[in-house]
């Protein structure tokens, strides 16, 4: 006959994922003629639990290299962009205990420039960026396990004697190894 035990442990009690595409408008000091390159750097973020969601707030720098003055000069314009992504928890453990929890957010896709183009008005640059996060809530929960007291827990089965090593080749790992 088996018995059951309730174990309180820390585990993932909520989990969600969010993919976002956003468009940003950058205003360079000169009217761009053509776009030469665009990249996203210096990504920083923080996450916190808000009700049944996780809010990821962060920022990154968008660098856009462009030519101006009829393709005779180039310039790089940098703009820091802030964002807030709300990650819905697709999995939520209703048996979690207490209000203490830890929020873990990991980047699955770093902010990345998908497209960079000159706006229809011609004086601004439009940048499309993608990013993706996985958010987890770690908290206390209760797990029920089945206990089998009749199962042997005798450690003698795991004892190793010196004579068990007599037939081992000590050069086994070294044979065939060249530096």
Q: Are 108 and 134 in contact (CB under 8 A)?
A: yes
- Residues 131-150 have pLDDT tens digits of 999 999 999 988 889 887 77
| pLDDT value of position 124 | 93
- Which band of pLDDT confidence, cut at 50, 70 and 90, is reported for residue 66? very high
Domain boundaries, the chain: 3-148
- Neighbouring CB atoms inside 10 A of 154's CB total 8
Q: Of the candidates 132, 133, 121, 128, which has an alpha carbon nearest to the alpha carbon of residue 62?
A: 128
- Residues 6-50 have pLDDT tens digits of 898 999 989 999 999 999 999 999 999 999 999 999 999 999 999
Whole-model pTM: value is: 0.74
Q: Are 38 and 65 in contact (CB under 8 A)?
A: yes
């Amino acid at each position: 006959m088996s018995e059951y035990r309730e174990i309180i442990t820390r585990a993932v009690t909520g989990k969600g994922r969010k993919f976002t595409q956003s468009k940003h408008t950058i205003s360079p000091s000169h009217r761009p003629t053509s776009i030469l390159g665009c990249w996203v750097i210096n990504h920083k973020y923080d996450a916190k639990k808000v009700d049944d969601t996780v809010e990821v707030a962060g920022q990154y720098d968008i660098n856009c290299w462009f030519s101006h003055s009829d393709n005779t000069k180039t310039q790089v314009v940098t703009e820091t962009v802030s964002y807030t992504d709300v990650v819905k928890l697709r999995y939520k453990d209703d048996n979690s205990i207490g209000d203490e929890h830890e929020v873990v957010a990991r980047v699955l896709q770093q902010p990345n420039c998908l497209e960079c183009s000159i706006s229809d008005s011609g004086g601004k640059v439009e940048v499309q960026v993608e990013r993706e996060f996985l958010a987890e809530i770690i908290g206390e929960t209760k797990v029920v396990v089945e206990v089998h007291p009749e199962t042997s827990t005798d450690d003698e089965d795991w004892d190793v004697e010196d004579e068990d090593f007599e037939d081992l080749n000590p050069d086994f790992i070294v044979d065939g190894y060249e530096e």
